[in-house]
Amino acid sequence: MTMAEHKPAYSLLVRHGESDVGTLALDKGTNLLKLAYSQEWQKSGFAISPALSLDNQHSPEVAYNYLDNALPEGGARKLLADDLGVSEKNVYSQVRAIGDDLTGAISFIPSEVTPENQSPGDEPEFRLIEEDELIQRIANKDDFGLLMWDDKPRLSVAGVQDKLNIFIDDQGRMGFGDGTLCSTHILKFEKSNCPNLVVNEYFCMKLSEAVGLPTSKVQFARFEQHPTLIVERFDRKYVSEKQKVFRRHMIDGCQALNLPRDLKYERNLGDGRDVQHIRDGASLPRLFTLAESMSSPAESMLWLINWQCFNLMISNYDSHGKNVSLFFDKSNNRFTPAYDLVNVAMFPQFKHTIAMAMGDEFEPDNINAYQLADFAETCEVNKKLLSRQLSLLANKVTGILADDSFIEEIAKFAHFTDADRDYMTTVKAHVLDRTHYLRSQAPKIPTIEV
């Protein structure tokens, strides 16, 4: 094999829709990545994340951080690496394998693929998943995983929960999309040691939507005994007349802050006594600073306030740097709808410290008016504004949960069991208790000097 024949394996074309963005290259001598924008994209395009500047002067770790965050986490990441026969840290090989359906609108295509030998993209391709096949795969996911279908890796969204990217057409059929099609929804499942995780997230997501917060659209389904959350992707839009899925570019908080996925928690070295003072990971002050540079700083700041207050009300301790994202393109950078909203307090097997501190406090039971005021000062938020927004949001939550109509409405379908409704009633009681307490602290916030 000549050098000319060998080189394409170490280079990928970077595309945004049908436009060429540039190239991603791996230096096989140093094992460092280089993302280089084309001259045309530099003139007419945009930086695909804040740190990947259009001048091509960014360092190799910036491209690594961007791609590392775009790939799956947890067991899916290990399965993907094992199937490819590479290290989990070898992001280049993993992006080469699944780079045509990553989150957002940027795709990574092997450079040996050219229009002449058919780039993925000119015709819609649909591979139907029959319900029996899906049920069998869910039943065996702990043994065989959900990554490989027809000898092709499919999962390509970040996160540690069992997930499957799928395409759903306008007739409700599920499958895999290729060519002009790609995934439009995400199926989320629960592990055997986390019963009720799906119904918990469904309740929290529907509550967020009910109080008027921008929230991902979700449905609850059952495939035989397996509860499943169907999440509509807000970075995708299927247009049936054109048989095409249009993509919208987005990045998560770690990509926006140029942090590797290992720094998605503020205490990036953990909660141990000797390292808990080290806080180099994603944090609320960093996100509020990011908000100042967005298309509408005031709107973005308000979104963050409401997002964090709601997370406290539902005890979503795991609201880390990858559980917040933003649309990011040439004309618009705003926070996306909220997602991954779970009442973590209901699961004793999960860590019960919050991912990003309120001021200096990581213990949720210790958050009172003082910590809320400290959060406001640390993030340069007006304390009266925080007090007002916390009260408004708490009133909405308590108003919606005041009677049984909310649960009756969201759990009225046949695939919900009495056990599901009983569990939602337990979550509701926990959320109400926490929300009442936080509302009682709100009037005190403006009076506190930190």
Question: What are the tens digits of pLDDT across the range 171-221?
Answer: 999 999 988 999 999 999 998 889 999 999 999 999 999 999 999 999 999
> How confident is the model at residue 404, as a pLDDT?
87
H helices of 237-382, in order, are: 253-256, 284-291, 297-313, 369-378
CA distance 182 to 153: 13
Q: What is the pLDDT of residues 243-265, one digit of tens each?
A: 999 999 999 999 999 999 999 99
Find all residues with CB under 8 Å of 89, minimum gap 6, and list them.
Answer: none
Cα distances from 394 to residues 107, 213, 318, in angstroms, run 41, 12, 20
Q: What is the pLDDT of residues 380-402, one digit of tens each?
A: 999 999 999 999 999 999 999 99
> How confident is the model at residue 118, as a pLDDT?
45
E-state strands within 207-363? 218-223, 226-232, 236-239, 244-247, 250-252, 325-328, 333-335
Q: Do domains 124-244 and 250-447 have the same CATH topology?
A: no
* % of the chain surpassing 70 pLDDT: 94
The mean per-residue pLDDT over the stretch 7-35 comes to 91
Amino acid identity of residue 175, one-letter, is G
* % of the chain surpassing 90 pLDDT: 78
> How confident is the model at residue 80, as a pLDDT?
86
Q: Give the model's confidence band at 2: pLDDT under 50 very low, under 70 low, under 90 confident, else very high.
A: very low
> How confident is the model at residue 156, as a pLDDT?
57
Look up residue 336 and give its DSSP letter: P
Is the pLDDT at 450 greater than 90? The verdict is no
Q: What is the pLDDT of residues 76-95, one digit of tens each?
A: 788 888 889 999 989 999 99
Q: Is 130 left (phi over 0), alpha (psi -120 to 50) or beta?
A: beta
Mean pLDDT of the chain, nearest integer: 92
CA distance 271 to 273: 6
318 is catalytic: yes
Break the chain into its structural domains and give their ranges.
3-113, 124-244, 250-447
Look up residue 421 and give its DSSP letter: H
The 333-335 sheet, strands edge to edge: 250-252, 325-328, 333-335
Catalytic choice (100, 101, 235, 318): 318
Q: What is the pLDDT of residues 26-81, one digit of tens each?
A: 998 898 999 999 999 999 999 999 999 999 999 999 999 999 999 988 877 888 88
Class of the 250-447 domain?
mainly alpha
Q: What is the pLDDT of residues 262-306, one digit of tens each?
A: 999 999 999 888 999 999 999 999 999 999 999 999 999 999 999
Report pTM.
0.94
Q: Give the model's confidence band at 116: pLDDT under 50 very low, under 70 low, under 90 confident, else very high.
A: very low
Fold adopted by 124-244: Phosphorylase Kinase; domain 1 (3.30.200)
